[in-house]
Amino acid sequence: MCLFQRSSKTHCSSSFSTISTRMIYCILFSVFTFLVYLLLSLSLFQSKETINAYVFSSKDQPQSPTAIDHIVFGIASSIKTWPARREYVKLWWDAQRMRGCVFVDRPLPSFVNHTNSPLLPPICVSEDTSRFRYTWTNGDRSAIRIARCVIETVRMFNTFSEEVRWYVFGDDDTIFIPENLVRTLSKYSHTSWYYIGASSEIYYQNSLFGHDMAFGGGGIAISSSLANVLAKVFDSCIERYPHLYGGDSRVHACMLELGVGLSHEPGFHQFDVRGNALGILTSHSTRPLVSLHHMTHIDPIFPNSTTFSAVSHLFSAVELDPLRIFQVSVCYDRWHSWTISVSWGYAVQIESRHLFLGDVLRTQKTFRTWINYGGLARVYTFNTRDVHPDPCQRPATFFMEHVSSSPGDGTIKSVYKQASQNCTYDPISSPRKIEEVRVFSTRLDPDIRQLKAPRRQCCDILPTSSNGGKVLEIRIRECKEDEFIYIHP
């Protein structure tokens, strides 16, 4: 019994000692685990903070809105074309706010040199390109010099202290709408690689040079982050493409090699058409008008005008409401069964019948083809509709006479008058009895969301009996949320 009791006591002491040791080990292990967890948490927290700091500093920092002084222009010209075309550049160039250069093939003669002109960009003589091969049969090797305007412009301006976000290139007969260019580019981040422009209106031209190429006459916009990389490799790329025709083809080829595709903006207009451009201009996209090209190859866009005076007249409307220029609003006159289409700042057309909106917006073929090769040369990249062979059976067309703004309520009034035609008509039901159309609107000022997803505006025919029904008044406004533009029964 005694032995048993002693033995039992010894066993209990041993068990207690073992349990105490295990508890100590457990406590130590827990403390160690906690310390490891604490150290890892602190490390991860610091890493996360570092990553966040990098991300926010590199991309998510709020930036000031894109402005015209964030853009640098490279304008391709020559000693032969510049004297005649510089007057067009004066219409849109603002030397106080814009930066850029006009590239010519050799120094201008003293009697046409305007280096110190406050109304024009400075002149830059292009670098020698004789080392590059050019093999397009019957082509013009100046295409290489024009292509290199890209690299020369970037090298000239990328070291400036002022921030450069975009490089924009065009010909000396490319007419830009600066405010609309700024708004269009503001949809994109210059820190990403963007190559922006538009293709030709002619299917054949696109098939020949590239459906995904930005045509240079309509203008090409390249983000600064992409342009800086392109400038480093551009010459080596040009050497691989001696067989291409134009400078824009070389830019396109190099973009493809960098893996960059075209971001298409229909506001850039190559204008590969001839003759009367009324049909194209009165069916403009809801995107802002950014550029016009080849204006000297089409008829003056306003009657009884020269080409230059017509473009200058258009700019009187551009100055008051640039983002609304050529924007189309359609409304219907139920009483007379008229379809009224307003191409703001340019023309108003009245059809003496009701047309569905889709038919109204189809481009009237008032123009001729750029080239007469037949086949695909007569195929366009947009929907068209034929015009009546008899001018008196076509819509009554009223061209912009003048535009004015009321400083009180901000109302903009544009007045359109009918081009004179020797046509007989019904004085009661025909729209030709109208002598003047007055359009009232406010300045169009869409935000970024609306620029990315534009919506056509609506119009109303205002009740008026002025001048015995010879004046038609219209108001343009934002459409209501669930409003349709259609022929009301």
What is the SS3 assignment for 12? helix
- Over 60: is that where the pLDDT of 1 sits? no
Q: What angle do CA 439, 440, 444 make, to 5 degrees?
A: 110
* Segments making up each domain of the chain, as ranges: 68-270, 322-477
Whether the Cβ atoms of residue 366 and residue 387 lie closer than 8 Å to each other: yes
Q: How far is residue 400's CA from residue 402's CA, in Å, rounded to a whole number? A: 6
- Put residue 138 in one of left, alpha, beta given phi > 0 → left and psi -120 to 50 → alpha: left
- Which residues, at least 6 apart from 160, have a Cβ–Cβ distance to it below 8 Å? 99
- Put residue 268 in one of left, alpha, beta given phi > 0 → left and psi -120 to 50 → alpha: beta
What is the SS3 assignment for 149? helix
Q: Which tokens belong to 152?
A: 């020369």
What is the SS3 assignment for 374? coil
Number of H helices, E strands in the chain: 12, 21
pTM for this model (two decimals): 0.86
Supply the DSSP string of 23-64, one letter for each residue: HHHHHHHHHHHHHHHHHHHHHHHHHHHHHHHHHIIIIIS--P
Chosen CATH of 68-270 out of 3.40.50.2000, 3.90.550.50, 3.30.465.10, 2.40.40.20? 3.90.550.50
Instruction: Summarize pLDDT for 11-45 with one digit per residue, the tens.
Output: 444 444 444 566 665 566 666 666 656 555 555 44
Q: How far is residue 447's CA from residue 269's CA, in Å, rounded to a whole number? A: 23
Q: How far is residue 66's CA from residue 310's CA, in Å, rounded to a whole number? A: 30
The overall average pLDDT reported for the chain is 88
Binning the chain into helix, strand and coil, the percentages to the nearest 5 are: 35, 20, 45
Q: How far is residue 306's CA from residue 308's CA, in Å, rounded to a whole number? A: 5
Q: How far is residue 171's CA from residue 102's CA, in Å, rounded to a whole number? A: 9
Q: How far is residue 77's CA from residue 99's CA, in Å, rounded to a whole number? A: 16
Q: Which tokens belong to 480?
A: 């209501």
**The one-letter amino acid at 221:** A
**Model pLDDT, residue 118:** 80
**Model pLDDT, residue 88:** 96
Confidence band, pLDDT 50/70/90 cuts, at residue 407? confident
Where do the DSSP E strands lie in 193-327?
195-197, 220-223, 262-264, 273-275, 291-292
Over residues 79-97, the mean pLDDT reads 95
Confidence band, pLDDT 50/70/90 cuts, at residue 469? confident
Instruction: Summarize pLDDT for 141-164 with one digit per residue, the tens.
Output: 999 999 999 999 999 998 776 799
**The one-letter amino acid at 148:** R
Other Cβ atoms closer than 10 A to 323: 20
What are the two backbone dihedrals, phi and then psi, of residue 398, each rounded to the nearest 5 degrees?
-120, 125
- Range of weakest confidence among 38-47, 137-146, 213-222, 396-405: 38-47
Bridge partners of residue 21, in order along the sequence:
none
- Over 50: is that where the pLDDT of 223 sits? yes
Instruction: Summarize pLDDT for 311-368 with one digit per residue, the tens.
Output: 999 999 999 999 999 999 999 998 889 999 999 999 999 999 999 999 999 999 999 9
Supply the DSSP string of 406-448, one letter for each residue: -TTT-EEEEEEEEPP------TTT-GGG--EEEEEEE-----H
Place of tokens 């917006």: 361
